Amino acid sequence: MTNILAPSILAADIMRLGEQIEAVRKAGAKYLHIDVMDGVFVPSLSYGVCVVESIRKSCDMVLDVHLMIVDPHRYVETFARAGADILTVHLEACEDVRATLELIRSCGCRAGLSIKPGTPVEAVEPYLDQMDLLLIMSVEPGFGGQVYFPESTRRIAQARAMIERKGRDVDLEVDGGITMANVREVLSAGANVIVSGSTVFRDPQKGAAALMEILREPSPLF
């Protein structure tokens, strides 16, 4: 399995966004992680559809849109039309998880399901057949630059074991507090998509290149 870097533009310098996206792309990042926050599901507000639309016009990376919004079903079609490739919704925010994952796929996007640190990993098991990506939050969603919750490592391993047991081809993405010091631990627990905001965008080219070097190391698992 190839490991993928998904830089989160929440930590980018908005005035230099185009240039910084190009730097992470050149360093080998394949996904671009876009955090959409509504001020209700999470305390902060970020950006919405027009940012995805505008990035899509000049960027051919996989747009990995993380919806931290209540009742995300309402916006699936709009984000799909704006050019999202992966649409990830929160289990805790959906009224009907199954219907929302189905809608995402029917719009031509890959369907992602995410859980906050307090939600048991087994809660996603009934939906494994309907998702292409499972996103384990390793901090409380809402802000960049937080510290990785150490218990996330066990949750990642549990999620990977569950995916293997079901024989499903599901990406396991981890988001929040990933640094040069803990990324190997996250990978060896079974994650294959690494989101990183502050570690990458402190210096986009160098940050992404340094993480990519670790992501390319042969994995003990696969």
Confirm or reject binding of residue 10 to ligand DX5 (CB under 6 A). yes
11 binds, among ligand DX5, Zn ion, none (CB under 5 to 8 A by kind): ligand DX5
Binding mask 80-119 for ligand DX5 (x = CB under 6 A): ----------------------------------------
Nearer to Zn ion, 126 or 145 (CB): 145
171 is catalytic: no
Residue 198 binds ligand DX5, judged by CB under 6 A: yes
* Per CB under 5 A, 38 contacts Zn ion: no
Binding residue for ligand DX5 (CB under 6 A) from 5, 21, 32, 33? 33
Q: What is the crossing angle of helices 17-26 and 204-215, to 10°?
A: 30
Contacts of 33 (CB under 8 A, 6+ apart): 6, 7, 8, 9, 64, 66, 175, 195, 197
- 35 is a catalytic site residue: yes
> In this structure, what token pair is assigned to residue 149?
């919750």
Stretch that binds ligand DX5, among 23-31, 74-82, 139-147, 204-212 (CB under 6 A): 139-147
> Nearer to ligand DX5 by C-beta: 8 or 100?
8
Distance between CA 136 and CA 81 in Å, rounded?
Answer: 26
| CB-based contacts of 39-48 (< 8 A; 24+ apart in sequence) | 40/69, 40/70, 41/68, 41/69, 41/70, 41/90, 41/92, 41/93, 41/141, 42/68, 42/141, 42/142, 43/142, 43/143, 44/142, 44/143, 46/10
Closest CB to ligand DX5 among residues 10, 209: 10
**φ and ψ at 5, to 5 degrees?**
-100, 130
**Subset of 42-71 contacting ligand DX5 (CB under 6 A):** 66
For residue 144, how far is the Cα from the chain centroid? 13
* Stretch 138-197 residues interacting with Zn ion (CB under 5 A): 175
The entry of Zn ion, ligand DX5, none near residue 196 (CB within 5 to 8 angstroms by kind) is ligand DX5
Q: According to the binding rule CB under 6 A, does residue 136 interact with ligand DX5? A: no
**Is 210 exposed, middle or buried, given 0-12, 13-18 or 19+ CB atoms closer than 10 A?**
middle
The residue with tokens 């899509």 is: 56
Residue 35 tokens, joined: 């955090």
| Contact set for Zn ion, span 65-124 (CB under 5 A) | 66
- Return residues touching Zn ion (CB under 5 A): 35, 66, 175
Binding region for ligand DX5 (CB under 6 A): 8, 10-11, 33, 35, 66, 139, 141-146, 175-178, 195-199
Enzyme catalytic residues: 35, 175
